[in-house]
Structure 1
Amino acid sequence: MTRFVSLNQFVNLWECDENDHMNVQFYFAKFQDAAQLFAMCHKLDDQLGPLINRHVRYHCELRGGAQIQITSSVIVAFGDLIAPGEGCFIQHVMRETTTGRIAATALDWHRGSLPPVSDALCDEANTAVMPRGLKDPADLTPRQPPQEDGLIIARGILHPGLCDGDMLARDQAYISAVSDAASHAWERVGLNVKWLESQGFGRVAVEMRLHILSPMKVGTAYQMQLGYTGLQARALTKRYDFFDMRDGAHLAILEAAVMLLNHTTRKSEPLPDFTRAKVTAMLGAS
């Protein structure tokens, strides 16, 4: 069990999307708040090294009105599990309090190590926190922005409402940009709104990993490059690279594992053959 209650909150209806559940951007927003509060309450702010990435898994849907609690702890042992790399790891578990079920988890990977902390703040790694659909490490080599306009999936400007007190982008800024671009990404592989409505399906993410290479500042104009990275019977993986439109700097990488959601059964559906063919062709071309 993770030890410290870092956040108690509630799912507002305005945080829900067309699938009638909380949008992915708000999971990241709540996990970022929980991480900051956990560090602040235990005076770890200056002891934790830079964050390498935040890896979020979505375990079950949270509908409007759900009451949630996040508990956090320092991972001191992985047992039979494999650590993603060298460094310090903080885990966060979000539960729906009425049933106690795990709704989502976050694994924060920091550079360096922590000095000894209280046993009350430590735990073994929770299996629900560990990567599943995004196990392989990301290639963090800085890239140049694409020269072909067709490779750009979206553009945007960072507004103050998605920034912290230093006017740097919060996690939600990156995830909301990806959430808005996602329907266009699905359309490129044949899963447009008309087809989805005819089937009674929606599109959902089941896992995301965010790497911030150079934090965006308020007013930054950015563009996003889309690439498909993997394919399974019911899921595909993709990667969004953020670039500064002024100087071409590589700002961030967001990886996602996504599925089709049946709106009636609330379960995943196999990807249709025409989508598999399109993704396979793109994988072969990359």
Structure 2
Amino acid sequence: MALSPTLYSFTNRWECDENDHLNVQFYFSRFDEADQQFRLISGLSDSVAGARRVRHVRYHKELRTGDLITVHSGIAFDGPHLLTVVHEMRNSGTGALSATAIDGYEPNPGTVKSLRQRFADYQTPMSSDATPRGLSASPASARPALDKLLQNNGALCFRGTVMPRHVNADGKADDQFALSCCTDGVPHVWERSPLTQAYLSQHNLGRVAIEMKLIWHSPLKSGDMIVVASGFTGSQNKTFGMRHHVFESRTNRLAATLDVVALTMDLDARRAVDLPEEARTAISKMVLA
């Protein structure tokens, strides 16, 4: 079956960041809206498939000011989860694939046959473009305590408060809130490496994420205060990894984790460049234990 259209949107100038392209938090907000529409269209719900365990996003081509956006969604039973919802975001002006997201659900294995029948009209083959590449598909099982994280190469990079505008209809903080906290904090993580703001500016480079995996461990509600502790997870020739941990500040309860694969982009050529050797060496010495 063909994917169902679930979003028609537009790239606003105020949503673009210092690299002059759509900030990642707004990709997540659009995937979340597309998912809400898909749930209404298909009848998918937590009571049917359980709560979403993970949202995994890959960025394929930039969206810039004025670009038109569409999202189409479907269910892949041959994906990395027992039930995988696939979202494809395109620049509808050019047809180019801009980003993909997969939402992972783990319903009771005994219900999969009935779920296949129930969602027969919304099934789609798992897309190779949406298949996780730099990050594993499965949710991370480790839930480090804040104090242990700070003792093992993690560092604080953000503090904030959940405001009423950040919560969804269920009264819980949404994906965009988690992403906004991490993206506002991440320059402080980069600053711990040789890839400082001064270095990037000198070489006309931008900070870019190419893959992300968001996992909610426990909900946040309006009025909750949060802190983000982050660190590096490794590096390769062009890319390196980070993991952000969002904690509720009063009890130091882990609320969410965000894994990121990032790179530096030449802002003129709009393409990735190799990491300098000193950056790879420095990052390797700061990997989260």
TM-score range normalised by the length of the shorter chain = over 0.9
Residue 179 in structure 1 maps to residue 174 in structure 2: no
Q: Tell me the equivalent position of 1:109.
A: 104
Instruction: Please say if residues 5 and 72 of structure 2, whose CA atoms lie closer than 8 Å, have aligned partners that are also in contact.
Output: yes
For structure 2, which runs of at least 5 residues remain unmatched after alignment?
none
Secondary structure at the aligned position of 2:258 is classed as strand
Distance of 1:154 and 1:98 partners within structure 2: 37
Q: Distance in 2 between matches of 1:101 and 1:50?
A: 31
Shift of 1:211: 0.3
Write the distance in 2 (CA, Å) between the matches of 1:28 and 1:135: 19
Evaluate the alpha carbon distance shift between residue 136 and residue 121 of structure 1 in structure 2; reply closer, same or farther with a 3 A threshold.
Answer: closer
Deviation, 1:2, is: 4.8
Counterpart in the other structure of 2:16: 16
The reply to whether residue 278 of structure 1 matches residue 279 of structure 2 is no
Q: Distance in 2 between matches of 1:136 and 1:125?
A: 13
Tell me the equivalent position of 1:93.
Answer: 88
Task: Call closer, same or farther: CA 1:75–1:115 in 2, change over 3 Å.
Answer: closer
The Cα shift of 1:138 comes to: 4.6
The 3 A distance-change label for structure 1 pair 171 and 136 is closer
Shift in Å, 1:280: 0.9
Are 1:253 and 2:257 counterparts?
yes
- Structure 1 counterpart of 2:37: 37
Question: 2:53–2:139: 8 Å Cα contact kept in structure 1?
Answer: no
Give the CA deviation at 1:241.
1.1
Aligned residue pair count = 279
Quote the offset at 1:272 in angstroms.
Answer: 1.4
Task: Tell me what 2:48 maps to.
Answer: 47
**Which residue of structure 2 lines up, in the alignment, with residue 144 of structure 1?**
145
What is the CA–CA distance in structure 2 between the aligned matches of 1:16 and 1:281, rounded to whole Å?
33
In structure 2, what is the Cα distance between the partners aligned to 1:136 and 1:52?
11
Question: Can you give the 5+ residue segments of structure 1 that lack an aligned partner in the other structure?
Answer: none
Q: AA paired with 1:253?
A: T
Pick one of 163, 166, 183 that aligns with 1:162. 166
User: How far apart in 2 are the matches of 1:255 and 1:119?
Assistant: 32
Identity between Structure 1 and Structure 2 (%): 33
The alpha carbon displacement at 1:139 in A equals: 3.0
Compute the RMSD of aligned alpha carbons. 1.7
Give the secondary-structure state (helix, strand or coil) at the position aligned to 2:124: strand
- Contact 1:146-1:225 at 8 Å conserved across structures: no
For 1:2 and 1:141, locate their aligned partners in 2 and report how far apart those are by CA, in whole Å. Answer: 37
2:269 to 265, 271, 279: 265
Q: C-alpha displacement at 1:153, in angstroms?
A: 2.0
Q: Aligned with 1:130: secondary structure?
A: coil
1:169 and 1:160 map into 2 onto residues whose CA distance is 9
Which residue pairs with 1:127 in the alignment? 128
* Equivalent pair of 1:2/1:91 in contact (CA under 8 Å): no
TM-superposed deviation, 1:115: 5.4
The one-letter amino acid paired with 1:32 is: D
Which aligned segments of 4 or more residues in structure 1 are displaced greater than 6 angstroms? none
**Alignment TM-score, normalising by the size of structure 2:** 0.91
Secondary structure of the equivalent of 1:146?
helix
Q: Does 1:194 align with 2:194?
A: no
Deviations 1:149-207 (A, max 9, x none): 87222211111222112331110000011110111111101222221111010100000
Q: State the SS of the aligned residue for 1:215.
A: coil
Q: Which residue of 1 aligns with 2:25?
A: 25
* Per-residue deviation, 1:118: 4.5
